Amino acid sequence: MQAFLDVFDIYLLEAVINGILLGGVLALLALGLNLIFGVIDVTWICYAELVMIGMYGMYFMVQYYGVSYFVAAPLTIMLVAVLGAALHYLVIAPLLTAPPINQLLATGGVLFVLQSFATVAFGIDFRNLGIRLPVLAFGDMNFSYARLLSFAAALVGMVAVYLFMTRTFTGTAIRAISQDRQIMALMGVDTKRIYLITSALGGALAGLAACLLVLQYDVHPFVGLSFGPITFLICVLGGLGNFIGGFIAAFVFAEIISLGGLFSDLEWGYVLAFAFFIVMMFIRPAGLLARRR
Protein backbone atom coordinates (compact mmCIF):
# COMPACT_ATOMS: atom_id res chain seq x y z
CA MET A 1 0.00 0.00 0.00
CA GLN A 2 2.74 2.43 0.99
CA ALA A 3 4.66 1.65 -2.17
CA PHE A 4 1.55 2.37 -4.22
CA LEU A 5 1.15 5.80 -2.63
CA ASP A 6 4.80 6.71 -3.24
CA VAL A 7 4.47 5.93 -6.92
CA PHE A 8 1.17 7.77 -7.06
CA ASP A 9 2.68 10.93 -5.57
CA ILE A 10 5.56 10.91 -7.98
CA TYR A 11 3.19 10.61 -10.93
CA LEU A 12 0.99 13.34 -9.49
CA LEU A 13 3.92 15.68 -9.12
CA GLU A 14 5.09 14.83 -12.62
CA ALA A 15 1.62 15.58 -13.99
CA VAL A 16 1.42 18.87 -12.10
CA ILE A 17 4.80 19.95 -13.46
CA ASN A 18 3.91 18.84 -16.98
CA GLY A 19 0.71 20.86 -16.65
CA ILE A 20 2.73 23.95 -15.79
CA LEU A 21 5.01 23.32 -18.76
CA LEU A 22 2.01 22.95 -21.08
CA GLY A 23 0.46 26.08 -19.56
CA GLY A 24 3.41 28.20 -20.67
CA VAL A 25 2.77 27.67 -24.37
CA LEU A 26 -1.00 27.95 -23.96
CA ALA A 27 -0.50 31.24 -22.10
CA LEU A 28 1.64 32.48 -24.99
CA LEU A 29 -1.12 31.68 -27.50
CA ALA A 30 -3.77 33.23 -25.25
CA LEU A 31 -1.69 36.39 -24.91
CA GLY A 32 -1.47 36.78 -28.68
CA LEU A 33 -5.21 36.33 -29.16
CA ASN A 34 -6.06 38.60 -26.20
CA LEU A 35 -3.76 41.27 -27.54
CA ILE A 36 -5.60 41.37 -30.87
CA PHE A 37 -8.99 41.30 -29.18
CA GLY A 38 -8.12 43.84 -26.50
CA VAL A 39 -6.57 46.37 -28.84
CA ILE A 40 -8.37 46.01 -32.17
CA ASP A 41 -11.60 44.52 -30.80
CA VAL A 42 -11.71 41.71 -33.34
CA THR A 43 -11.29 37.98 -32.81
CA TRP A 44 -8.92 36.16 -35.08
CA ILE A 45 -10.73 32.83 -35.43
CA CYS A 46 -7.83 31.74 -37.64
CA TYR A 47 -5.18 32.37 -34.96
CA ALA A 48 -4.15 28.71 -34.60
CA GLU A 49 -3.88 28.45 -38.40
CA LEU A 50 -1.17 31.12 -38.29
CA VAL A 51 0.61 28.77 -35.88
CA MET A 52 0.12 25.95 -38.38
CA ILE A 53 1.70 27.99 -41.20
CA GLY A 54 4.57 28.84 -38.86
CA MET A 55 5.08 25.15 -38.07
CA TYR A 56 5.27 24.40 -41.81
CA GLY A 57 7.75 27.24 -42.12
CA MET A 58 9.91 25.61 -39.45
CA TYR A 59 9.51 22.18 -41.04
CA PHE A 60 10.57 23.29 -44.50
CA MET A 61 13.45 25.42 -43.30
CA VAL A 62 14.87 22.79 -40.98
CA GLN A 63 14.06 19.56 -42.84
CA TYR A 64 14.10 20.67 -46.46
CA TYR A 65 16.71 23.41 -46.59
CA GLY A 66 18.79 22.21 -43.68
CA VAL A 67 18.70 25.54 -41.82
CA SER A 68 19.63 25.23 -38.16
CA TYR A 69 16.72 25.34 -35.71
CA PHE A 70 17.98 28.48 -34.02
CA VAL A 71 18.26 30.34 -37.33
CA ALA A 72 14.91 29.09 -38.59
CA ALA A 73 13.08 30.15 -35.40
CA PRO A 74 13.59 33.94 -35.71
CA LEU A 75 12.83 33.71 -39.44
CA THR A 76 9.57 31.90 -38.68
CA ILE A 77 8.64 34.46 -36.03
CA MET A 78 9.19 37.22 -38.61
CA LEU A 79 7.26 35.30 -41.29
CA VAL A 80 4.19 34.87 -39.09
CA ALA A 81 4.48 38.49 -37.89
CA VAL A 82 4.29 39.62 -41.52
CA LEU A 83 1.37 37.23 -42.02
CA GLY A 84 -0.41 38.78 -39.02
CA ALA A 85 0.14 42.30 -40.36
CA ALA A 86 -1.08 41.18 -43.81
CA LEU A 87 -4.18 39.60 -42.25
CA HIS A 88 -4.97 42.92 -40.59
CA TYR A 89 -4.23 45.01 -43.64
CA LEU A 90 -6.12 42.85 -46.15
CA VAL A 91 -9.01 41.42 -44.11
CA ILE A 92 -9.56 43.31 -40.84
CA ALA A 93 -8.83 46.92 -41.83
CA PRO A 94 -11.57 47.07 -44.50
CA LEU A 95 -14.01 45.58 -41.94
CA LEU A 96 -13.06 47.65 -38.88
CA THR A 97 -16.41 49.41 -38.72
CA ALA A 98 -18.41 46.37 -39.88
CA PRO A 99 -20.61 44.43 -37.43
CA PRO A 100 -18.61 41.94 -35.31
CA ILE A 101 -20.32 38.96 -36.96
CA ASN A 102 -18.89 39.98 -40.35
CA GLN A 103 -15.39 40.26 -38.89
CA LEU A 104 -15.82 36.84 -37.30
CA LEU A 105 -17.00 35.32 -40.58
CA ALA A 106 -14.14 36.92 -42.47
CA THR A 107 -11.45 35.53 -40.16
CA GLY A 108 -13.34 32.23 -40.17
CA GLY A 109 -13.03 32.32 -43.95
CA VAL A 110 -9.31 32.90 -43.62
CA LEU A 111 -9.16 29.78 -41.41
CA PHE A 112 -10.54 27.62 -44.23
CA VAL A 113 -8.37 29.35 -46.83
CA LEU A 114 -5.23 28.63 -44.80
CA GLN A 115 -6.23 25.02 -44.07
CA SER A 116 -7.08 24.36 -47.71
CA PHE A 117 -3.94 26.12 -48.88
CA ALA A 118 -1.84 23.90 -46.61
CA THR A 119 -3.67 20.79 -47.81
CA VAL A 120 -3.11 21.62 -51.46
CA ALA A 121 0.44 22.87 -51.07
CA PHE A 122 1.83 20.46 -48.50
CA GLY A 123 -0.52 17.47 -48.61
CA ILE A 124 -2.13 15.84 -45.61
CA ASP A 125 0.96 13.95 -44.45
CA PHE A 126 2.02 14.31 -40.86
CA ARG A 127 5.51 15.79 -40.84
CA ASN A 128 7.98 16.42 -38.11
CA LEU A 129 11.31 18.11 -37.66
CA GLY A 130 13.08 14.85 -37.05
CA ILE A 131 14.70 16.40 -34.02
CA ARG A 132 14.50 14.06 -31.06
CA LEU A 133 15.30 15.89 -27.88
CA PRO A 134 16.37 13.92 -24.83
CA VAL A 135 14.18 13.22 -21.85
CA LEU A 136 15.43 14.53 -18.54
CA ALA A 137 15.03 12.37 -15.48
CA PHE A 138 14.72 13.81 -11.99
CA GLY A 139 14.62 10.82 -9.70
CA ASP A 140 11.69 8.76 -10.92
CA MET A 141 10.12 11.61 -12.86
CA ASN A 142 10.66 12.16 -16.58
CA PHE A 143 10.36 15.49 -18.31
CA SER A 144 10.75 16.04 -22.00
CA TYR A 145 13.50 18.49 -22.85
CA ALA A 146 11.27 19.92 -25.59
CA ARG A 147 8.62 20.86 -23.04
CA LEU A 148 11.12 22.49 -20.70
CA LEU A 149 12.62 24.46 -23.57
CA SER A 150 9.15 25.50 -24.78
CA PHE A 151 8.14 26.63 -21.32
CA ALA A 152 11.28 28.70 -20.87
CA ALA A 153 11.02 30.27 -24.32
CA ALA A 154 7.32 31.02 -23.82
CA LEU A 155 8.11 32.78 -20.54
CA VAL A 156 10.88 34.79 -22.17
CA GLY A 157 8.47 35.74 -24.96
CA MET A 158 5.81 36.88 -22.51
CA VAL A 159 8.29 38.89 -20.43
CA ALA A 160 9.53 40.55 -23.62
CA VAL A 161 5.95 41.53 -24.53
CA TYR A 162 5.38 42.82 -20.99
CA LEU A 163 8.49 45.00 -21.15
CA PHE A 164 7.54 46.27 -24.60
CA MET A 165 4.02 47.13 -23.42
CA THR A 166 5.14 48.93 -20.27
CA ARG A 167 8.45 50.54 -21.21
CA THR A 168 8.02 51.88 -24.74
CA PHE A 169 5.89 54.69 -26.14
CA THR A 170 4.37 52.36 -28.73
CA GLY A 171 3.55 49.75 -26.07
CA THR A 172 1.89 52.41 -23.91
CA ALA A 173 -0.16 53.50 -26.92
CA ILE A 174 -1.23 49.88 -27.46
CA ARG A 175 -2.52 49.79 -23.88
CA ALA A 176 -4.13 53.22 -24.18
CA ILE A 177 -5.93 52.69 -27.46
CA SER A 178 -8.62 50.35 -26.14
CA GLN A 179 -9.47 52.86 -23.37
CA ASP A 180 -10.24 55.76 -25.70
CA ARG A 181 -9.93 55.24 -29.44
CA GLN A 182 -11.24 58.62 -30.55
CA ILE A 183 -8.68 60.84 -28.87
CA MET A 184 -5.58 58.91 -29.94
CA ALA A 185 -5.10 61.38 -32.81
CA LEU A 186 -4.78 64.19 -30.23
CA MET A 187 -1.73 62.35 -28.85
CA GLY A 188 -0.26 62.26 -32.33
CA VAL A 189 -0.93 58.53 -32.58
CA ASP A 190 -1.80 57.06 -35.95
CA THR A 191 -4.24 54.35 -34.85
CA LYS A 192 -3.88 52.48 -38.16
CA ARG A 193 -0.17 52.10 -37.51
CA ILE A 194 -0.75 50.88 -33.94
CA TYR A 195 -3.24 48.30 -35.20
CA LEU A 196 -0.71 47.08 -37.74
CA ILE A 197 2.04 46.84 -35.10
CA THR A 198 -0.30 44.99 -32.73
CA SER A 199 -1.26 42.55 -35.48
CA ALA A 200 2.40 41.92 -36.27
CA LEU A 201 3.06 41.37 -32.56
CA GLY A 202 0.13 38.94 -32.35
CA GLY A 203 1.55 37.17 -35.39
CA ALA A 204 5.03 37.07 -33.86
CA LEU A 205 3.62 35.37 -30.75
CA ALA A 206 1.90 32.79 -32.97
CA GLY A 207 5.24 32.34 -34.74
CA LEU A 208 7.06 31.78 -31.46
CA ALA A 209 4.40 29.28 -30.42
CA ALA A 210 4.88 27.51 -33.77
CA CYS A 211 8.63 27.19 -33.18
CA LEU A 212 7.94 25.60 -29.78
CA LEU A 213 5.01 23.37 -30.73
CA VAL A 214 6.84 21.95 -33.73
CA LEU A 215 9.28 20.36 -31.28
CA GLN A 216 6.49 18.32 -29.71
CA TYR A 217 3.85 17.82 -32.39
CA ASP A 218 3.72 16.70 -36.01
CA VAL A 219 2.66 19.28 -38.59
CA HIS A 220 -0.40 18.73 -40.74
CA PRO A 221 -2.95 21.12 -42.26
CA PHE A 222 -5.43 20.62 -39.40
CA VAL A 223 -2.99 20.85 -36.52
CA GLY A 224 -4.53 24.23 -35.65
CA LEU A 225 -7.58 22.38 -34.36
CA SER A 226 -5.44 20.95 -31.57
CA PHE A 227 -4.66 24.42 -30.15
CA GLY A 228 -7.26 26.79 -31.60
CA PRO A 229 -10.36 25.80 -29.62
CA ILE A 230 -8.47 25.46 -26.33
CA THR A 231 -6.88 28.91 -26.85
CA PHE A 232 -10.32 30.45 -27.33
CA LEU A 233 -11.67 28.75 -24.23
CA ILE A 234 -8.71 30.06 -22.24
CA CYS A 235 -9.25 33.61 -23.47
CA VAL A 236 -12.98 33.48 -22.75
CA LEU A 237 -12.44 31.91 -19.32
CA GLY A 238 -9.88 34.58 -18.45
CA GLY A 239 -12.14 37.33 -19.78
CA LEU A 240 -11.57 38.27 -23.44
CA GLY A 241 -8.94 40.98 -23.68
CA ASN A 242 -7.75 40.45 -20.10
CA PHE A 243 -4.05 39.55 -20.26
CA ILE A 244 -3.69 38.45 -16.64
CA GLY A 245 -6.95 36.49 -16.74
CA GLY A 246 -5.75 34.68 -19.86
CA PHE A 247 -2.43 33.88 -18.21
CA ILE A 248 -4.11 32.33 -15.16
CA ALA A 249 -6.74 30.49 -17.22
CA ALA A 250 -4.01 28.96 -19.40
CA PHE A 251 -2.46 27.28 -16.36
CA VAL A 252 -5.87 26.25 -14.97
CA PHE A 253 -6.69 24.53 -18.25
CA ALA A 254 -3.26 22.99 -18.62
CA GLU A 255 -3.49 21.50 -15.11
CA ILE A 256 -6.95 20.08 -15.76
CA ILE A 257 -5.76 18.49 -19.00
CA SER A 258 -2.59 17.16 -17.42
CA LEU A 259 -4.15 15.85 -14.20
CA GLY A 260 -7.22 14.55 -16.02
CA GLY A 261 -4.87 12.71 -18.32
CA LEU A 262 -3.16 11.17 -15.29
CA PHE A 263 -6.32 9.63 -13.89
CA SER A 264 -7.47 8.24 -17.22
CA ASP A 265 -6.12 9.13 -20.64
CA LEU A 266 -5.32 12.40 -22.38
CA GLU A 267 -8.64 12.63 -24.24
CA TRP A 268 -10.44 12.57 -20.91
CA GLY A 269 -8.26 15.45 -19.81
CA TYR A 270 -9.70 17.51 -22.66
CA VAL A 271 -13.24 16.38 -21.88
CA LEU A 272 -12.77 17.48 -18.27
CA ALA A 273 -11.31 20.82 -19.37
CA PHE A 274 -14.26 21.54 -21.66
CA ALA A 275 -16.77 20.41 -19.01
CA PHE A 276 -15.07 22.73 -16.51
CA PHE A 277 -15.34 25.54 -19.05
CA ILE A 278 -19.09 25.02 -19.50
CA VAL A 279 -19.68 25.01 -15.75
CA MET A 280 -17.56 28.15 -15.34
CA MET A 281 -19.54 29.94 -18.03
CA PHE A 282 -22.62 29.52 -15.83
CA ILE A 283 -20.83 30.64 -12.68
CA ARG A 284 -18.73 33.47 -14.11
CA PRO A 285 -20.01 34.30 -17.60
CA ALA A 286 -17.67 37.30 -17.99
CA GLY A 287 -14.57 35.26 -17.20
CA LEU A 288 -12.46 34.48 -14.14
CA LEU A 289 -11.33 38.08 -13.93
CA ALA A 290 -14.13 40.04 -15.53
CA ARG A 291 -12.64 42.88 -17.53
CA ARG A 292 -12.67 46.01 -15.44
CA ARG A 293 -14.20 49.04 -17.09
Partner 1 sequence: MLELRGLNAGYGTFQALFDVNLDVKAGEAVGVIGPNGAGKTTLMRVISGLIRPSRGSIRMEGVDLVATPSHKIVSLGIAHVPENRRLFPQLTVDDNLKMGAFMKEARDHYAERLEVVFDLFPRLKERRHQMAGTMSGGEQQMCAIGRAMMSNPKLLLLDEPSAGLAPVVVQQVFELVKRIRASGLTVLIVEQNVQQVLKVVDRAYLIEAGTIRASGTSAEMLASDTVKEAYLGV
Q: Which residues bind partner 1 (CB under 8 A)?
A: 169, 172-173, 175-176, 179-180, 182-191, 292
What span, in angstroms and rounded, lies between the C-alpha atoms of 214 and 126?
12
CB of 280 to partner 1, least distance (A): 25
**Residue number, 168 or 264, with CB nearest to partner 1:** 168
**Residue number, 35 or 208, with CB nearest to partner 1:** 35
Identity of the residue numbered 242: N
Nearest to 214 by CA among 96, 131, 125, 124: 131
CB of 183 to partner 1, least distance (A): 5
CB of 193 to partner 1, least distance (A): 9
**Residue number, 2 or 179, with CB nearest to partner 1:** 179
CB of 146 to partner 1, least distance (A): 38
Identity of the residue numbered 210: A
**Residue number, 68 or 182, with CB nearest to partner 1:** 182
In our burial notation (b when 16+ CB lie closer than 10 A, e otherwise), range 205-232 reads bbbbbbbbbbbbeebbbebbeebbebbb
CB of 287 to partner 1, least distance (A): 17
How many other CB atoms are there within 10 angstroms of residue 190's CB atom?
A: 11
**Residue number, 187 or 266, with CB nearest to partner 1:** 187
What span, in angstroms and rounded, lies between the C-alpha atoms of 157 and 154?
5
Burial class (CB in 10 A: 0-12, 13-18, 19+), 69: middle
